[in-house]
Amino acid sequence: MIFANRFFPATRLRRMRHDDFSRRLMRENVLTTNDLIYPVFVLEGDNREQAVNSMPGVTRQSLDKLLHTAEEAVKLGIPMLSLFPVIESGKDNSGAEAYNPDGLVPRTVRALKERFPELGVMTDGALDPYTIHGQDGILDASGYVLNDETTEVLVKQALCHAEAGADVFGPSDMMDGRIGAIREALEEEGFIHTKILAYSAKYASAFYGPFRDAVGSSANLGKADKYTYQMDPANLEEAIQEVAMDLEEGADMVMIKPGMPYLDVIRRVKDTFRVPTYAYQVSGEYAMLKAAFQNGWLNEEKCMMESLIAFKRAGADGILTYFALDAARLLRR
Ligand code: PBG
């Protein structure tokens, strides 16, 4: 546009960006502590805390320590913890420890719910912490993870966790039909309020490496992979089919995992189904950010918050993130 022989842009988008008040007025997405789910690793015993080397700032904690962590999460207004067990003895290849009513997870859930009834407690549905081979299910002689046999064990695990008081069961195993089987069993046993957060679009990702160190399944897994049940990172349409299936079978919430490399999947899922949708910013994403922070290559607070708001912008209703406590502390300031 030309005015008095001078060029000027018809629209100056920078006008609204000029002042803090107008930037705030036009902000499209916000992150609050209500968006955060904190994954934690629980150990047997008392007064134990172990650093996870590949996840600086993350530890495995015995219950007494975990209760302090949970208390802090409650104080910060974090709605839910996601509990992962470190099974040091009792592993076998039947996964029976996964539904032991006196096992580490049910005991931890009971203690957490007793102390903090208002804190949501989510448990993980999968057999990898409990199996010697580190796969998420039961294997046949050739090493293939059996779908229906594994689902039967997952149903027992779900009932065991619901019995202990878990609010949300999160199957992260990727067996077909497991959401339907679990939902039916929960209904039959009267657990009508137990929610299912389905790891619906879970990719066969190399970004899970540090998590496998944390729960101690990586050594067991060795060079084996999970390609026959987790999704190909190249696929998007298949994720839509996975989510459709899990919703049809009775999932209350769905998840996309990993997070940051899969923001397009989150957006597609949210736009297609308009249901509560969650992202898992997984261990490898945390590790690579932390490594850069520790080297002074990235600004910790800014990059952490930018990585989290990206999930909101992509359409996620919440984020499972190892940054949950740090982010909540920052949001409090
Ligand atoms: C296993 C499980 C994994 C994660 C959560 N549950 C790893 C895997 O599938 O091998 C990964 C979480 C993370 O990397 O933070 N059922």
**Residues 304 and 256 sit within 8 Å (Cβ to Cβ):** no
Going from the Cα of 212 to the center of ligand 1, the distance in angstroms, rounded, reads: 7
In this structure, the strands spanning 145-146 and 168-171 are unpaired
Q: Which of 5-9, 84-88, 136-140, 184-188 has the lowest mean pLDDT?
A: 5-9
Going from the Cα of 178 to the center of ligand 1, the distance in angstroms, rounded, reads: 17
Strand partners, 84: 41
Question: pTM here?
Answer: 0.96
Please give the positions annotated as active site: 202, 257
Establish whether this prediction's ipTM goes over 0.90: yes
Mind listing the domains of the chain with CATH numbers?
30-332 (3.20.20.70)
CA atoms within a 13 Å half-sphere pointing along the CA-CB vector of 289 = 21
Pocket flag, ligand 1, residue 169 (CB < 6 Å): no
Name the phi and psi angles at 83, rounded to 5.
-100, 130
Going from the Cα of 210 to the center of ligand 1, the distance in angstroms, rounded, reads: 9
**What is the C-alpha to C-alpha distance for residues 112 and 205, in angstroms, rounded to an integer?**
31
**Segment holding 228, helix H or strand E:** none
Q: How many CB atoms lie within 10 A of CB 27?
A: 9
Mutate to test the pocket of ligand 1, among 38, 55, 212, 230 (most ligand atoms within 8 A of CB): 212
Token couple for 105: 């997870």
**Residues 221 and 134 sit within 8 Å (Cβ to Cβ):** yes
Q: How many CB atoms lie within 10 A of CB 264?
A: 12
pLDDT, tens digit, 9 for 90 and up, residues 86-131: 999 989 999 999 999 999 999 999 999 999 999 999 999 999 999 9
Pocket flag, ligand 1, residue 212 (CB < 6 Å): yes
